[in-house]
Amino acid sequence: MAKDYLRQSALAHLHLAALGVDDPDGAGVVLCERPFRGQLSLRGNSADHEFVEGVQGVLGVGAPLDPNTVNVAGNITVLWLGPNEWLIVTPDGQETELVERISDALAGQHFAVSDVSDSRAIIGLTGIHARDVLMKGCSLDLHPRAFNAGSCAQSSLARCHVLLHQINEIPTYDIYVHRSFSDYAWRWLEDAAREYGFAIINQSAIDVVTQRSTRKESPVSA
Amino acid sequence: MNNKPSKYSIVSLVRNALNYHQNWQEAWRSPEPKKEYDVIIVGAGGHGLATAYYLAKEHGVTDIAVLEKGWLGGGNTGRNTTIIRSNYLWDESAAIYEHALKLYEGLSQELNYNIMLSQRGVLNLAHNLHDLRELSRRVNAIRLNGVDSEILTTEQVKAMVPIMNTSPHSRYPVLGASLQRRGGTARHDAVAWGFARGADARGVDIIQNCEVTGIKRNGAGVEGVQTSRGFIKAKKIGVVAAGHSSVLADMVGLRLPIESHPLQALVSEPIKPVLDTVVMSAAVHVYVSQSDKGELVIGAGIDSYNSYAQRGSFQVVQHQIGALLELFPIFSRLRMLRQWGGIVDVCPDASPIISKTPIKGLYFNCGWGTGGFKTTPGSGWVFAHTIAQDRPHRLNEPYNLERFSTAYLIDEHGAAAVAH
Amino acid sequence: MSQQTYRLAVGGHIDRTRPLSFDFNGKRYGGYVGDTLASALLANGVHLVGRSYKYHRPRGVLSAGSEEPNALVQHGTGGATDPNFRATQVELYDELVAASQNCWPSVSFDLGAVNSLFSRVLPAGFYYKTFMWPKAFWKYYEYVIRRAAGLGRAPDAPDPAYYDNMHVHCEVLVVGGGVTGLAAALSAARADARVILADEQCEFGGGLLGAGEQIDGMSTDEWVAQAVAELASMKQVTLLPRSTVIGYFDHNFLTIAERIQDHLGPMGTPDKARQRLWKVRAKQVVLATGAHERPMVFKNNDRPGIMLASAAQTYVNRFAVKPGNNVVFFTNNDSAYGAALTLAEAGIKVAAVLDVRAQPTGRLATKVRDRGIEILGRHAIAAAMGKKRVSAVEVMMLNESADRLIGTARKIACDLVCMSAGWSPAVHLFSQSRGKLKYDANRSCFVPGDSVQAERSAGAANGTFSLAACIVEGHEAGLAAATDAGYNKNASVPKAPVRQEIEEAPVDPLWLVPAKAGEHTNKHFVDFQNDVTAADVVLAAREGYRSVEHLKRYTTMGMGTDQGKTSNVNALAIFGQVLGSDIPDVGTTTFRPPYTPVTFGVLVGRDVGELADPVRRTPMHQWHESKGAKFEDVGQWRRPWYYPLPGESMQDAVNRECLATRKAIGILDASTLGKIDIRGPHAAEFLDRIYTNGWKKLAIGRCRYGVMCGEDGMVFDDGVTARLGENHYWMTTTTGNAARVLAWLEEWLQTEWPELKVYCNSMTEHWATASVAGPLARKLVAKLTSDIDFDPDNFPFMSCREGAVAGIPARVFRISFTGELSFEINVRSSCGRALWNTLMTVGEQYGITPFGTEAMHVLRAEKGFIIAGQETDGTVTPIDLGLEPMVSKRKDFIGKRSLSRPDTQREDRKQLVGLLPVDAREVLPEGSQIVEKVDDKPPVPMIGHVTSSYYSAYLERSIALALIKRGRSRHGETVQVPLEDKVVPAKISAPQFYDPEGVRING
Amino acid sequence: MLLIKCPWCGDRDEHEFSYGGEAHIVRPRDPEKLTDDQWADYLFMRKNPKGAHLERWVHAHGCRRWFNVERDTVTHAITAVYKMNEKPPRSSKT
Ligand SMILES: Cc1cc2nc3c(=O)[nH]c(=O)nc-3n(C[C@H](O)[C@H](O)[C@H](O)COP(=O)(O)OP(=O)(O)OC[C@H]3O[C@@H](n4cnc5c(N)ncnc54)[C@H](O)[C@@H]3O)c2cc1C
Ligand SMILES: NC(=O)c1ccc[n+]([C@@H]2O[C@H](COP(=O)([O-])OP(=O)(O)OC[C@H]3O[C@@H](n4cnc5c(N)ncnc54)[C@H](O)[C@@H]3O)[C@@H](O)[C@H]2O)c1
Ligand SMILES: Cc1cc2nc3c(=O)[nH]c(=O)nc-3n(C[C@H](O)[C@H](O)[C@H](O)COP(=O)(O)O)c2cc1C
Ligand SMILES: [Zn+2]
C-alpha cells in the first residue's frame, strides 16, 4: 500500500474538504465524497457450494444470492452485481490482504477476485430530497415500496453507469460511479440538487447526520 | 393507354380559378386491377413509382401495375427528412447517387410537378480530429469522382449558419465541415405524387389498398402475386417494399441481409426562417433543415431493435435533441410539434441491393435504409433498366445480392452512420 | 390603460384583489390573477388577436383551451421569447408582453392579407402546379415563399431558463383532472395505489370549471375543492397541475411536460426549472382527457367573435368575462343550450339559437325557450358578416336532407357567434397507445375501441358526456386500474352522485353548411390555422387524393400547431361526403406525440452545456490542465493532444515532444487504454479464438501483440496482452474501444461458448498508466525502483514485472508504441497523480518531456504501427495491414473464414504502405486520395488514400502511411496525390521509417 | 421506451440494455468447411420477421448478463424472456 500522502481521491480536484460543513442545516440534499474504501470484484459460480461456503468462510457473511441485495457483516459489505459477480467493500487498506485470503480459500476453484478499489468513486447522498435528486436521472423505481435500505442496483444516472446502494431510510445512498465519470456525476448531482438547497458535508460528519435525521417522506417521491 | 393529364402551370391555375377549380383532372386514376400485367411493381413508394415511370418512359413497357398495401407514398417516402446529396465515399456510390441528383435537377420540369427541389447546400460537421480526417478523405474522393464538395473551416461554417454554436468550448465543437452546395431538400410528397402522376399518364395502373400476400412461383420463375384483392398474373415482379422487403422475400423462401428498424424524425412548430442550410452531424446524430413552410425538420438515429411498428422510442429523440441544442442553443424554447417513425431496411454495408434474384423474373430493390430518398429517381431508373433488360445497368451492377458471399461490400457506414 | 369593460361584476375564478397589467401589441391592458391572456383580452373587448397562416385573415379566440388554432401570439422578449403561444393557455402575469404574429405592419393592417385577394388562385397544393418555369427562376420563387413561411419568431439569444427531467413510477396514472379524472384518482388512491394525477390546466376541475352545475348538493367548485383536498392529503398521490401528458409510448411509458414557472414570467425563481419532463412508467393508465367541441363549417366562420359555445360559457363562468353583448348560437346538439343559459344569465343578449335539428326537445332547450329566447329549428348560418369582428349573421333554412339552404336569408345583428357541432372525445393518447378507434354514429364521434396497453378511457374521453355518468365511470375506472395493478381488491365505488340528470336529445351531425346557390365553399373554413376550406377538401378528392392521409398532406389540414384538434373530424366527414364513403371508412389520420407542442428544452432537461455529455478524466487530468495542454476528444475522454510552451506553435510543440522522446525521455498519460483482466482455466483457449494469433505458448510474465477481427474478417481492435499467471491474462485495448471489447468478450463467452471457464473484468478505471519512453527511460525507472531488476536480460522487451515505483505498488510492462525503450507503469488510480509527479520531478534531470496524442501518433507512424480506426475503417483485414504472420493457419478464430472469400483474397486489395512525398517538406493532408496520374476530367480512378501523415522532426522530413491497391508489391514506385491547389508526387515505401531493425527498443 | 424484464434484475428500462439481434444463430462448428454462400448466410442473412421475433439482449447497465427475448416486432409486446441456456417458448417457431 502506498503512503497516504501519495494518494488522491477521485474528486480531490474539487477541493470538497474545504467546502464541506459538519451540519448541513436546512439543506434538502446533502452530498459528500466517500473516498478510499477497499473494493474487490468477486466472480464465481453461485450454484457451487464450495464457492459459496468458501466465500462465507473468509468474509463471515455470504455473497448475496438474491439479485440487487446487499449483505453486511461488521465492516464488510457485499453487493450483488450479477448472478456470478459481486462487489466486496472493506475498510481502506484491507483489500490486499482480503484478496489473498479469498484466493487461498478458493484455491483450485474457478473464480476470480481482483482489487478494483480505485475503479469507482463513491458519492454519499442524503437528505429529504435525496431520492428526488436521483429520480431526475435514474429510471429505477426508488420508492420505499420497491427499493429500501439494503437494496442495491446497477443502472444509469444521467449519462453514466452507477451502482446504487441504499444505506438507510432517510434515505441515504452510496453512489458508486466509475472514477473517470465522477467529476461529471458530481456536477450533475449538484445541478440536480440545486432547487432543494444542498450542502456539501464533511465525510466524517455524514454518518452522524444521517443517524440523527428522522425519516421524512419527500413530496414528489411519494 | 395514355391518360393525357391537364398541364400544370400558372396559366392553368388562373384558368381553373375562374370556375372555382371544378375542372381539375385526377392526378392519377384509382383503377381496378386487371387479371394480368407484364410487370408488377410491389410498393408505391417513390422508388416503386419511379421504377414504373421509367419502365414506361425509357423502356416502352407500359402494361404495369404498381401495387401498394396502403396509400401511395405513405411508406418511408412520406416520412423522411428530405435531404438530398451525392457526397458519398466509394466510386460505386458516387456514381449512382450523383446520377440520381442529376435526374432530380430536372425533375420538376420533366414531371410537370413542382417537387420544390431546394439546393441550399448540405453541411456535414466534424467534431473531432477523427471526423475531420474522415471528412477530408470523403471530400477528396468525391471531388475526384467529379462531384462538387468542399471543406469549410469553423469560421466559414459560422458565416454560413450564424445561429450555430461554434464555440471551442461547446461539448461538440465544430472543427470544420464539408459542404455540398448542390445538396439540399425536395418536397417528399411531391416526388411520390409527381412520379405517380407521370406513371399514370403513361398508362401505369397504380392500385392502392392492395397488399401483396404471396408470390406464386412457376418452376424457376414467377407467375404472379396473391393480393388482398385477388391473384394477379405477371411476367416480371419488381419488389420495392423498403422496410417490408424481408416479408416479401420470405414469400419465396429468399433470405435477405436486411433488418428493419425504426427511424424517427420530428418537426418543430413553424417559425420564421432562421436556417437556410441543411446541417448534418453524423457523430452526434442530428440532421436539421427548415422547410419552406417554416417548421424545422429534424432527423434522429435508428432504434437498435428490429421493428415494423413505424414508431421509435422516446429516448432516441431525447438524445438527439440534446445534441441539437448544443449546436443550436436558440432552439431551446422552440417546440416539438410532431414526431413520427418509419421502417427502414438496413443492409450490413449500408448500401442498397438492386438486383436480380435466383428466381427468374423476380427482382429486388431494397436496403436503402436511412438514406434512399435522395436516390429515388436514380434508383427507379436503374431498376427499370434491370427489369426491362433482365440485367443490371452498369450503375447498379455492384449492388447485387451475391456481394454478401463474395465480400465485395460497399461499406458506406462512414458516410451513412445514419445518413439521410 | 384600457378598461376591462367586458368584465362581469361578480363570479369567476379570477382574483380581483390582484390586478395585473400587460402589454399586447404595444398597448397596455389590465387583467387579474387567474386570467389567461385570452380571457384578459376578451375582458378588454379585444377579439382580433392574430392572422392566419396563408391568407392572413383576421382571427380571434375560438376556444378556451389547448385546442386553440387561431389566437397564437409571440410571447416575451429577447432570449426568452416564445413563438406560437396559444393565448388561451398563457396564464396572465404582471407585465406580460405579447404580440400578434405573422402580420406586418400590424395585426389590424396586415399587408400579407393581399394573399386573401388571390386566394382563388391559391387552392390546396397550388405550389405543386406552378413556379416551374423558367427553371432557373425557382430559386427566386423559393426566396419569396420562404419569406412568407412560418408563424412566430425564434429567440435570437440562448435560453436563460433551465429545465428538468424526472423519472417516476406509479400504479395508476390518471390523465385529466376533470370530474372523471378526479373521481378515478380518488378511487385508485383510496385503494392505496400510488397515483399521479396530471392536468394541463392550472386548476383541477376540467370542464366543470366553466359549467356551473351541482353535484351531491354541492356547487361544482365545492365538489372539486373537496376532491382535490382529499387527494392532496394522501401521500401516495402526486398532483400535477399545469402538466400536459404529451406522449403515450410502448409498455405504458408516458411523458408529462410540467410548466413549473411559465405562469410567473420573468419573476420566477432562477433556482427552479422553468419546465419539467416527467417520464412515467405506469402499471395502469386512466385516460380522462375530456372532449373537444367542434366548430360549425359555414361561410366566414373564422371571423373574430365567432367561438365555441363551451368556450363562451367558460369565459363567463370561469373568467367572469362577457365575450360579447349580443350573441347568436348555432348548434346541432344540446350542450350549447347550457351555454346559452349561462350567457343569458350573465346579461348577454341571446338574439337567437339556430339548431340544425327541426325540433330541439331536450330539457335545456326547453329552459332556453322558456326564457323567451328564439329557437330556430332546421336553421343555419349561411354566412357571417364583418371583417375584424363579426357584426351580423345571415340565417337561412336547411332543406330536409340538410344539403341545401332554402328560403330567404334573414340577417341577425350580433357581436358574438357561439357554435357547437358536437363533441370529439380527446382520444389522442388512446390512439398513441395503439388503440383503434371506433365510430359511434349515435353520438357522431370517434370513441376508444379495445385497449392495447394497460389503459382505460373514461368520461367525456370515452364519449360519456353526462356529468353523473362521468363521475361513476371515473370511479369505476380508477378502482379497476388499482385492482389490476394489484391494490385493494375489495374496495368499492361510491354510489352515483345525486344530481338531476338533464335529458339530452341526440346530436344531428351537420358537417358542412351548404353554400348558397351560385356560391362556393371556399370561405367555409375547416382548418383555421392552415386556412383549409371545405372547397380545398373537395378539390383534393376531385384530384385523386382519396386517402385521408393524402387529403391531409395535399391540403395541410391538421398539420398546424393545433394538429387539427377542432378540425380533423369535420374535414374527414366532408371528405367522406364527397367520396360517398362512411366516416369510419374514411378513417382518421394518425395521432402522434406530442399532444400539444413541447419545448425542446424540456425534452433535454439538464443535459445541456457542460452536462451535455460526460467528459472522462484520468487521474492526471488536472496536471495536464495546469500545464496548458491542448486537448483532443477521444470518445468521451479528453486526452492531452500536445503541450505548447509559451510562443510555440502546435508543430513546434509536437516536434519538441517527439525529439525529446527519441533522444531522452517522453512521458505519456496512457490511463485511457482499456485494461481487461481475464482469468480461468480456459483463458488461453479463449484468447486463441478472439485473436488472430496463438496464445497458449506465451510464457508467464511475457506479453504479445494481438489483433482481433469481427466475424467479417475486418480488423476491429488491437493491443498488447500479457500473461500474468497460468490462467491469468491482462488484455489492453485501444481507448475508444475499451467498452466495446469487453462487451464483445462477454458476448462470446455467454452466448456462444458458455462451456469456457473464463471471467473478464474491466480494470481500466482502477489503474492509472504512465508510459515513459526514450533511451533514458530505464535510468529513470530504475532510479525509482528497488525491487525490480531492470537489466535488459532479466526484464526483456515484451515482458512485465511487479514492484514498487516511487514507493507505489506497480505493474510495469516493457512494451513500446514509440519504438523506443519504454515502460508502461500502472499504479492504482489514486496514486496516478503522485506517480506522475515523481516521474516528472525525478525525470527532470533526464529532460523528461510530457507528450500528447499527436506526438504519440507521429512516433508510432515513424515505426509503422497502426491505429485501429485510423489505418482501419471496417474494410481492412489483418493481411491488408501486412500482419499475415500473425494470422494463424493452425486454429480457428473469429473472422478467419471471412479472409478466404473471393473479395478478401483479391490481389488488388489496398495494402498498408509508407508514403514519402518527393518534397520532404510537403506534409500530405490526412485523407488525401492517391491516384496513378491526374486526368483533367473526372472521374479520376483512385488507388488509395493517406491514413496518417506527419512531419517527422527526427527524420527531418514528412512521412505518411497509406492504403494503396497492391501496395506491398509497389515499394519504390511514385504515385500522385492531388490536393486543392497542386499535385504532390510521393514514393511508396515500406511502412517503417525509423529503426526498422528494432534496435532502439533496447535503449 | 421498452420495459424489459431481465431474468435476474426484473423490469428495467430499455436504455439499460443493448440489443444483440436475432437469437439462436449458432456459429458453425467448422467454418472452413462452409461454402461462401453458407458463410454469408451465417454472417448476414436474417429472418427479420414481422411478428414474433426471438432475439438477444444484454443487461449492459445492470448485471451484464445476456438473455433471450421473444418480442413482437409490430406491437413490441414482449411475450417471453428466457436465459441463454433455456429453450424458446413453445409457441414460437424457430
Ligand atoms: C425518418 C426518416 C428519415 C429519412 N431521411 C432521409 C433523408 O433525409 N434523405 C434520404 O435520402 N433518405 C431518407 N430516409 C430514407 C428514405 O425515406 C427511404 O430510403 C426511401 O424513401 C425509400 O423509398 P421506397 O420507395 O423504397 O420505400 P417506401 O416509400 O417505404 O415504399 C415502400 C412501399 O411498399 C409498400 N409495401 C410494403 N409491403 C407491401 C406489400 N406486401 N404489398 C404492397 N405494398 C407493400 C409500403 O406500403 C410502401 O408504401 C429517411 C427515412 C426515414 C424513415
Ligand atoms: N353535454 C355534452 O355534450 C358534454 C360534452 C362534453 C363534456 N361535457 C361535460 O364535461 C365534463 C366531462 O368531464 P371529464 O372529466 O370527462 O372531461 P373534462 O373535459 O372535464 O376534463 C378533461 C381534463 O383533461 C385535461 N386534459 C386533456 N388532455 C390532457 C393531456 N394530454 N394532459 C393533461 N391533461 C389533459 C383537460 O385540461 C381537462 O381538464 C362533464 O361534466 C360532462 O358533462 C358535456
Ligand atoms: C418533411 C416533412 C415535413 C413535415 N411537416 C409537418 C408539419 O408541418 N406539420 C405536421 O403536422 N406534420 C408534419 N410532418 C409529419 C407528418 O404529419 C407525418 O407525421 C409523417 O408524414 C408521417 O406520417 P404519420 O405520422 O401519419 O405516420 C412532416 C413530415 C415530413 C416528412
Ligand atoms: Zn440484470
Q: What is the pLDDT of residues C570-616, one digit of tens each?
A: 999 999 999 999 999 999 999 999 999 999 999 999 999 999 999 99
- Domain range for C745 is 669-859
pLDDT category of residue D92 using cuts at 50, 70 and 90:
low
Of the candidates C210, C388, C225, the residue with the CA atom closest to the CA atom of residue C308: C210
State the cell numbers at B174. Answer: 465544430
**pLDDT for residue C621 is more than 80:** yes
Quick one: C393 and C451 in the same domain?
no
Given this model, what pLDDT does residue A178 score?
98
What's the rounded Cα separation, in Å, for the pair C713 and D31? 12
Q: Determine if the peptide bond prior to C792 is cis (ω within 30°).
A: no
Q: Is B189 in the pocket of ligand 1 (CB under 6 A)?
A: no
Helix (H, G, I), strand (E, B) or coil at A189: helix
Is C214 a residue whose pLDDT tops 90?
no
Task: List the chains bordering chain A where 3 or more Cβ pairs fall under 8 Å.
Answer: C, D
Give chain A's residues under pLDDT 70. 1, 211-222
Segment C953-982 shows an average pLDDT of 97
Q: What was the pLDDT predicted at A211?
A: 67
Pair C3, C144 in one domain: yes
Give the domain ranges of chain D: 3-83
Q: Hey, is C649 helix, strand or coil?
A: coil
C-alpha cell at A117: 478499489
Rounded Cα–Cα distance for residues B167 and B329 (Å): 11
Mean pLDDT of C890-901: 97
DSSP state of C204: S
The whole-number pLDDT of residue D63 equals 98
The pick from B76, B303, B316 for probing ligand 1's pocket by mutation, whose C-beta has the most ligand atoms within 8 angstroms, reads B76
* DSSP at B139: H
Sorted by sequence, the CB contacts under 8 Å of residue A209 that are 6+ apart come out as A23, A24, A30, A126, A201
Question: Whose alpha carbon is nearest atom 28 of ligand 2?
Answer: C289
How many C-beta atoms lie closer than 10 Å to residue C441's C-beta? 11
CA distance C715 to C294: 63
Strands (E), B212-334: 212-218, 221-227, 230-239, 259-268, 278-281, 286-290, 296-302
One of 3.30.420.270, 3.40.50.1100, 3.30.2270.10, 3.10.450.30 is the CATH number of D3-83, namely 3.30.2270.10
Q: Which residues contact B138 (CB under 8 A, 6 or more apart)?
A: B87, B88, B89, B149, B178, B414, B415, C927
Residue C250 lies in a domain: yes
C283/D84 Cα distance (integer angstroms): 28
Cβ contacts of residue D42 below 8 Å, gap of 6+? C711, D25, D27, D28, D34
Q: What is the CATH number of the domain that holds C311?
A: 3.50.50.60
Q: Please name the residue of chain B whose CA is at the shortest distance from the CA of residue C980.
A: B140
Split at pLDDT 50, 70, 90, the class of B303 is: very high
Mean of all residue pLDDT scores within chain C: 95
- Of the residues C600, C625, C857, C935, the best mutation for testing chain B's interface (the one with the most B CB atoms within 10 Å of its CB) is C600
Distance C385 CA to ligand 3 centre (A): 35
For the CA atoms of A20, A24, A27, A30, what is the dihedral angle to 10 degrees? 50
> A30: which 3 cell numbers?
446533502
Cell numbers 418511408 correspond to B76
Kindly report the CATH number assigned to the domain that includes residue C794: 3.30.1360.120
D16 touches chain A (CB under 8 A): yes
pLDDT value at D41 more than 80: yes
How many residues in total does chain B contain? 420
As for the ipTM of the complex, it is 0.97
Task: Give me the residue label for grid cell 513546434.
Answer: C652
Residues of chain B found within 8 Å of residue D73, distances taken between Cβ atoms: 260, 305-309
Are C278 and C306 in the same domain? no
Q: Which triple of cell numbers denotes residue C593?
A: 406525440
What's the confidence (pLDDT) of residue B335? 98
Atom of ligand 3 nearest to the CA of C592: 25
B84, HSE (Cβ side, Cα atoms, 13 Å): 31
Question: For residue range C337-373, what is the model confidence (pLDDT) as tens digits?
Answer: 999 999 999 999 999 999 999 999 888 999 999 999 9
Classify residue C664: in a domain, yes or no: no
**Three-class secondary structure of residue C703 per DSSP:** strand
Q: Is residue C184 domain-shared with residue C285, that is, in the same domain? A: yes
User: Quick one: average pLDDT of C9-37?
Assistant: 96
- Residue B243 Cα: closest atom of ligand 1: 30
Please name the residues between 220 and 259 in chain B that touch chain D, using a CB distance below 8 Å: 244, 246-247, 250, 255-259
Give the percent of chain C with pLDDT over 90.
89
pLDDT given for residue A215 in this prediction = 41
Find, among C582, C580, C528, the residue nearest to C559 by Cα. Answer: C528
Query: Would you state the pLDDT for residue C115?
Result: 79
Q: Has residue B417 got a pLDDT over 90?
A: no
Query: What letter would DSSP give residue C280?
Result: E
Q: Helices B91-105 and B376-389 meet at what angle, rounded to 10? A: 110
CATH number at residue C546: 1.10.10.1100
Round to whole Å and give the CA distance between C895 and C711. 4
How does pLDDT run across B362-413, given as a tens digit for each residue? 999 999 999 999 999 999 999 999 999 999 999 999 999 999 999 999 998 7
pLDDT digits (tens, 9 = 90+) for C634-646: 999 999 999 999 9
Cell 506491398 -> residue:
C968
Q: Which of A18-32, C79-93, C166-180, C852-866 has the lowest mean pLDDT?
A: A18-32
From A33's Cα to the closest Cα of chain D, the distance in A is: 23
Name the nearest CA neighbour of B197 among B376, B59, B25.
B25
Structural domain ending residue among the three candidates C801, C829, C859? C859
Query: Rg for chain C (alpha carbons), in Å?
Result: 38
Taking the C-alpha atoms of residue C199 and residue C189, their distance in angstroms, rounded to an integer, is 17
B68 within ligand 1 shell (Cβ under 6 A): yes
Label residue C939 exposed, middle or buried (CB < 10 Å: 0-12, 13-18, 19+): middle
Residue C407's SS3 state is strand
C410 has pLDDT over 70: yes
CATH of the domain at C112: 3.10.20.440
Q: What is the whole-number distance in angstroms between the Cα of residue B395 and the centre of ligand 1?
A: 21
Q: What is the pLDDT of residue C498?
A: 57
Indicate if the pLDDT at residue C277 is higher than 80.
Answer: yes
Q: Which pLDDT tens digit goes with each residue over B153-168? A: 999 999 999 999 999 9
Query: Would residue C261 count as lying in a domain?
Result: yes
> How confident is the model over B124-146, as pLDDT tens digits?
999 999 999 999 999 999 999 99
Q: Is the domain of C921 the same as that of C983? A: yes
Is residue C880 assigned to a domain?
A: no
DSSP C138-195: HHHHHHHHHHT--SB---SS-----EEEEEEEEEEEEE--BHHHHHHHHHHHHTT--E
Residues near A49 by beta carbon (within 8 Å), at least 6 away in sequence: none
What residues pair up with C965 in beta bridges, in sequence order? C910
Model pLDDT, residue B122: 97
**Which pLDDT score is estimated for C936?**
79
To test the contact with chain A by mutation, choose from C761, C808, C826, C827 the residue with the greatest count of A C-beta atoms within 10 A, namely: C761
Length of chain C in terms of residues written: 1003
Sign of CA dihedral C355, C359, C363, C369: positive
C893 burial (CB, 10 Å; 0-12 / 13-18 / 19+) is: buried
Asked if C829 and A158 come within 8 Å (Cβ–Cβ), the reply is no
Residue C563 placed within a domain: yes
Dmax (CA) for chain D in angstroms is 43
- Amino acid identity at A31: L
Q: What is the pLDDT of residue C719?
A: 97
Determine the number of helices (DSSP H) and then strands (DSSP E) in chain B: 12, 18
Q: Domains in chain A, ordered, with CATH?
A: 12-36+119-212 (3.30.1360.120), 37-117 (3.30.70.1520)
Q: What is the pLDDT of residue D91?
A: 63
Strands C630-634 and B230-239: unpaired
| For chain C, percent of residues with pLDDT exceeding 70 | 99
- The number of residues in chain A equals 222
Does one domain contain both C692 and C840?
Answer: yes
Q: d(Cα C811, Cα C732) in Å, to the nearest integer?
A: 13
| Positive or negative torsion for Cα B123, B127, B128, B131 | negative
Of all atoms in ligand 2, which is nearest to the CA of residue C461? 16
List, as ranges, residues 965-984 from C with C-beta within 8 Å of B.
978
Q: Is C290 left (phi over 0), alpha (psi -120 to 50) or beta?
A: left
pLDDT the model gives residue A206? 81
Q: Which three cell numbers stand for residue B360?
A: 427468374
Cα(B79) to ligand 3 centroid in Å equals 6
Residue C502 in this model has a pLDDT that exceeds 90: no
Question: What are the Cα distances from residue B325, in Å, to B129, C276, C600?
Answer: 22, 17, 8
Report the number of distinct structural domains present in chain C.
7
Q: What is the pLDDT of residue C210?
A: 76
Q: Are residues C169 and C148 in the same domain?
A: no
Rg, C-alpha atoms of chain B = 21
Residue B370's nearest CA partner among B342, B399, B407 is: B342
